[in-house]
C-alpha cells in the first residue's frame, strides 16, 4: 500500500498544499504527492543538476516518490544512490527513510545497520528504536509463524487496487470493498500512481465461499471523488465511509460520511463533523454493534504523531457525535495508526508502522480492557503480516478467527489485493483399536475387522465408522473439517456381531494444539463360555463381600454392571466357584449363595432380575491356566509341602466369580 496513503487509497489522507513560486515543477509535483509526475520531472532536473548536494537532494526526492507509490525496489535503488552521494550529511533523515525501506523489502540486516547509524545521530528517536527492535524480533516470528492460513482472493481482485473488504448486508452474504478498477464513478486519475479514483464495489459470496462478479455501488455513495474504507452497521441499513474531495487542484482533506438506506437505495450521504480545518483528514471509520462509538484515523492536532486513532461517542438526545478523544500512547505512536476495526467482542484491530513489526504497515490486535479502553497490544505476525503493508482487517460474521485483510505483498494480482485468512481447527483425532477377546486366552488380542465404532458428541454430532483389517479406525478429517472438535464431550461405543459392546468417553475441553487420543477395546465374544472378571472376594466360608481399605468387592461387580448396561439385550449367568477344600456339598451351597449375592447386588443397582441367573459350581470346574494346566485338587496338593505360596495361590485362582452369556435376544417389553 502506498506510503502517501498509509490510509485509504489513492490520495486519502493527503494534506492540502500550495504552489510556491520559487519551487521547481518537480518539487511542486512532489509536495502535491503526484509522485509519478514528480519522478519524470526529477529525472530531467537531474541531468542539469550541478554538485553532489543537489544531485543527492533530487535522488532522495525520487526515492521518496517511488516509496510513496509503493515501488519499494525502485525506491531502494535511489535511496542507495542518495546515500552513496553522502546526502545524509545535509538531510540525516535519509538514513531513517532508507532503513525503513530496507525493512519493507525484508532486508533486516541492512535495516538494522541503518537504524543503528541513525540512532547515533538521534538516540531518542522512537521510530528508529522501534525499527531496530523490529529487526531483532522479526526473525523469531518468521521462524515460528502462526497457524493462520492466508489466501489471495483472486476472483474478486483485479490488476488495479482492491482493498478493505467488509460485510455489506446483515446476513453476511454480500461484501463491499474499495477499488480503482474500471467502472468507478470517479472520472479523474490519481496522479500518484496513474490510477482511477477509488469507488465502492459490491459482491456476493455463497455458502461454498464462491464469489460473484463485483459491481459498482453507484450513486449517491460513489461520487466523482475518492471513496473508501467503509463499515456497515449490523442491520445493514447505515453505512459509514471515507470520502476525499479535491477541487481546483486543492485537496480539502478526507472526511467521514454516513448514509441511511431507504428501501433498496441509499440516501444522500451526510458529513460527520469531526475536525475544524480542511487541512486535516479523518477516515477509516469503525463502529460498535450499538453504533454508540465510532473509532477513526486522523492527523488532527493533539495526537501522538503521524496519523492516530481517535474515538467519539454518539449522543442520542442531541443527535451528534462528541468531540474526538485520542486513544492514547499505548495504541498510538510516533508513526501511523490506521484502519481500526472493532469486533463483536469489543476487541480492536488496527494497522501501524509505529509499533514493533515486520515492515511497512502491520496488523495489530488490542484487547478490550474496559469501557472504551484497549491494551495488551499484539502483533498478528506472519503469515497475516509481511514486510509489506498489511491493513484493513475484518472478521466474518460471528467468527473470531476468519476474515479478510488487504496487502501489497509479493505475489499479488494487482497493486493492493484482498486476502482471506482462517485459523485452522486444532488437529484433534480419536484413534480406536478393537481386539477380539475370548477364553481360551490364545484368541485374546486378535484385531477385529468390521467392528462398528459409534462416536457421539455433546455438540449433537454423530458418526459411525468401521474398523479396518488391523482393527483400527481414526476419526480425523471429514469434508474440509474435522470429526473431533474442541470443547466437546464424546461417547465411544463399539459394536460387533457375536461380541459384547464396549463403551468409553473422551473430553476435549481445555485441550490446546494438535493431539491424538488413543482408545483400545477388547470385545468379549458372546460364545466364549466362562468370562473372567475382576476379583470378587468374600469373608471366609461366607457369601458376605469383603469391603475394606484394601479390597472393595462390590466395586469389582461394576465391571459386569457396565457390561449389562452397554449390552441391554444379553442375559448372563453369574457363576461362583470355590477351591477344593471342604466337602463338595458345602462348597456347592457356598458358591450358590455367593453367586446369588452378586445377582442381588446387581439387581439392587437397577439391572432387571430376569437378565441374571445365579449359578454356583462349587469345586466342580477348576480353572485352566494359559498353558493348558488344569488346577485340579490333586495337582494343587502336590505343592502343599514343597511350595506353600504356590499352593495357596492356585487355590485362590479357583475361588473366582465369572459369567457367561446365555442369550443375546433379551427384550424388556416381552
CATH architecture for the domain at 25-143: Alpha Horseshoe (1.25)
Nearest residue to 198 (alpha-carbon basis) of 209, 185, 208, 207: 185
Per residue in 362-388, pLDDT tens? 999 999 998 899 999 999 999 999 999
Please give the pLDDT value at position 32: 78
The residue ranking higher by pLDDT, 427 or 239, is 239
For residue 136, pLDDT beyond 90: yes
In this predicted structure, what is the pLDDT of residue 13?
42
Cα–Cα dist 498/665, whole Å: 11
Whole-angstrom Cα distance, residue 52 to residue 58? 10
pLDDT at 188: 60
pLDDT reported for residue 600: 94
Which pLDDT does position 538 carry in this prediction?
Answer: 81
What's the confidence (pLDDT) of residue 194?
55
Buried/exposed 356-389: b ≥16 CB within 10 Å, e otherwise: bbbbbbbbbbbebeeeebbeebebbbbbbbbbbb
Query: Where are the domains positioned within the chain?
Result: 25-143, 428-524, 531-663
Question: How high is the pLDDT of residue 92?
Answer: 95
List the single range of 243-252, 311-320, 522-531, 654-663 with lowest mean pLDDT: 243-252
Q: Give yes or no for residue 250 having a pLDDT over 60.
A: no
Per-residue pLDDT at 652: 84
Residue 580: is its pLDDT beyond 70? Answer: yes
Contacts of 500 (CB under 8 A, 6+ apart): 523, 524, 525, 526, 563, 566, 567, 570, 661
With bands split at pLDDT 50, 70 and 90, how would you rate the model's confidence at 1? very low
Q: What CATH architecture applies to the domain 531-663?
A: 2-Layer Sandwich (3.30)
Name the grid cell of 181: 478498477
Quote the pTM value. Answer: 0.71
Q: What is the pLDDT of residue 7?
A: 37
pLDDT grade, residue 285 (50/70/90)? Answer: very high
Residue 186 banded pLDDT, cuts 50, 70, 90: low
Residue 401 has pLDDT above 70, yes or no: yes
Half-sphere exposure of 650 (CA within 13 A, CB side): 22
In the numeric block, the cell 462416536 is attached to 455
**pLDDT value at position 354?**
92
| Predicted local confidence at residue 557, as pLDDT | 87
Q: Quick one: cell of 25?
A: 515543477
**% the chain with pLDDT above 90:** 65
Q: Is the pLDDT of residue 185 over 70?
A: no
pLDDT of residue 192: 53
Say whether pLDDT at 468 is over 70. Answer: yes
Domain 428-524 adopts which CATH fold? Immunoglobulin-like (2.60.40)
Work out the end-to-end distance of the chain between its first and last CA atoms, rounded to an integer number of angstroms: 77
Which is higher by pLDDT, 31 or 592? 592
- What average pLDDT does this structure show over 423-442? 80
The predicted pLDDT at position 552 comes to: 78
Higher local confidence (pLDDT), 147 or 456: 456
User: What is the overall mean pLDDT for the chain?
Assistant: 88
Amino acid at each position: 500500500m502506498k506510503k502517501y496513503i498509509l490510509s485509504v487509497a489513492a490520495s486519502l489522507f493527503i494534506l492540502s498544499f500550495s504552489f510556491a513560486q520559487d519551487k521547481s515543477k518537480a518539487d511542486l509535483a512532489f509536495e502535491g504527492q503526484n509522485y509519478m509526475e514528480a519522478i519524470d520531472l526529477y529525472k530531467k532536473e537531474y541531468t542539469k543538476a550541478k554538485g553532489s548536494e543537489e544531485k543527492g537532494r533530487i535522488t532522495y526526492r525520487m526515492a521518496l516518490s517511488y516509496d510513496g507509490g509503493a515501488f519499494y525496489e525502485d525506491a531502494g535503488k535511489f535511496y542507495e544512490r542518495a546515500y552513496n552521494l553522502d546526502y545524509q550529511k545535509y538531510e540525516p533523515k535519509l538514513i531513517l527513510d532508507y532503513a525503513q525501506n530496507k525493512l519493507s523489502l525484508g532486508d533486516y540486516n541492512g535495516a538494522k545497520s541503518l537504524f543503528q547509524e541513525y540512532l547515533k545521530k538521534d538516540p531518542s528517536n522512537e521510530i528508529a528504536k522501534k525499527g531496530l527492535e523490529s529487526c531483532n524480533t522479526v526473525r523469531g516470528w518468521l521462524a515460528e509463524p502462526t497457524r493462520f492460513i492466508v489466501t489471495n482472493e483472486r476472483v474478486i481482485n483485479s490488476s488495479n487496487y482492491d482493498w478493505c473488504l467488509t460485510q455489506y448486508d446483515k446476513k453476511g452474504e454480500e461484501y463491499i470493498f474499495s477499488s480503482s478498477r474500471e467502472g468507478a464513478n470517479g472520472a479523474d486519475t490519481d496522479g500518484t500512481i496513474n490510477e482511477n479514483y477509488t469507488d465502492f464495489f459490491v459482491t456476493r459470496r455463497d455458502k461454498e465461499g464462491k464469489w460473484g462478479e463485483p459491481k459498482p455501488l453507484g450513486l449517491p455513495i460513489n461520487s466523482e471523488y475518492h471513496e473508501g474504507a467503509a463499515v456497515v452497521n449490523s442491520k445493514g441499513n447505515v453505512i459509514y465511509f471515507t470520502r476525499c474531495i479535491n477541487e481546483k487542484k486543492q485537496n480539502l482533506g478526507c472526511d467521514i460520511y454516513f448514509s441511511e438506506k431507504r428501501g433498496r437505495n441509499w440516501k444522500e450521504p451526510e458529513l460527520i463533523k469531526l475536525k475544524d480545518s480542511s487541512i486535516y483528514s479523518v477516515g477509516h471509520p469503525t463502529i460498535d454493534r450499538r453504533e454508540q462509538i465510532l473509532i477513526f484515523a486522523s492527523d488532527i492536532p493533539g495526537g501522538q504523531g503521524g496519523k492516530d486513532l481517535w474515538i467519539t461517542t454518539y449522543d442520542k438526545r442531541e443527535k451528534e457525535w462528541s468531540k474526538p478523544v485520542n486513544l492514547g500512547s499505548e495504541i498510538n505512536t510516533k508513526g501511523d495508526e490506521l484502519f481500526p476495526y472493532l469486533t463483536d467482542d469489543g476487541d480492536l484491530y488496527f494497522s501501524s508502522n509505529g509499533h514493533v513489526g515486520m515492515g511497512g504497515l502491520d496488523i495489530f490486535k488490542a484487547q478490550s480492557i474496559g469501557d472504551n479502553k484497549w491494551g495488551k497490544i499484539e502483533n498478528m505476525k506472519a503469515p497475516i503480516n509481511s514486510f509489506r503493508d498489511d491493513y484493513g482487517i475484518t472478521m466474518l460474521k460471528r467468527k473470531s478467527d476468519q476474515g479478510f485483510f488487504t496487502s501489497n505483498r509479493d505475489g499479488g494480482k494487482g497493486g493492493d489485493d484482498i486476502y482471506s485468512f482462517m485459523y485452522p481447527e486444532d488437529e484433534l483425532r480419536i484413534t480406536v483399536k478393537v481386539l477380539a477377546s475370548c477364553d481360551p486366552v490364545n484368541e485374546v488380542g486378535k484385531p477385529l475387522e468390521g467392528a462398528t465404532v459409534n462416536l457421539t458428541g455433546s455438540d449433537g454430532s454423530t458418526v459411525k465408522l468401521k474398523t479396518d483389517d488391523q482393527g483400527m479406525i481414526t476419526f480425523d478429517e471429514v469434508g474440509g473439517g474435522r470429526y473431533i472438535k474442541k470443547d466437546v464431550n464424546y461417547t465411544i461405543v463399539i459394536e460387533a456381531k457375536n461380541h459384547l459392546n464396549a463403551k468409553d468417553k473422551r473430553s476435549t475441553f481445555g485441550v490446546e494444539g494438535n493431539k491424538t487420543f488413543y482408545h483400545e477395546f477388547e470385545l468379549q465374544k458372546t460364545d466364549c463360555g466362562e468370562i473372567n472378571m475382576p476379583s470378587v472376594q468374600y469373608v471366609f466360608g461366607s457369601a458376605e463381600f469383603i469391603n475394606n481399605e484394601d479390597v472393595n468387592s462390590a466395586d469389582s461387580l461394576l465391571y459386569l454392571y457396565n457390561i449389562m448396561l452397554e449390552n441391554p439385550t444379553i442375559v448372563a449367568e453369574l457363576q461362583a466357584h470355590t477351591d477344593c477344600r471342604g466337602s463338595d456339598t458345602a462348597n456347592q451351597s457356598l458358591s450358590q449363595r455367593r453367586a446369588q449375592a452378586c445377582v442381588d447386588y446387581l439387581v439392587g443397582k437397577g439391572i432387571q432380575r430376569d437378565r441374571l441367573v445365579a449359578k454356583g459350581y462349587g469345586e466342580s470346574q477348576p480353572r485352566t491356566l494359559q498353558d493348558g494346566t488344569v488346577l485340579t485338587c490333586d495337582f494343587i496338593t502336590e505343592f502343599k509341602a514343597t511350595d506353600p505360596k504356590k499352593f495357596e495361590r492356585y487355590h485362590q485362582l479357583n475361588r473366582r466369580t465369572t459369567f457367561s452369556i446365555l442369550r443375546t435376544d433379551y427384550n424388556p417389553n416381552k
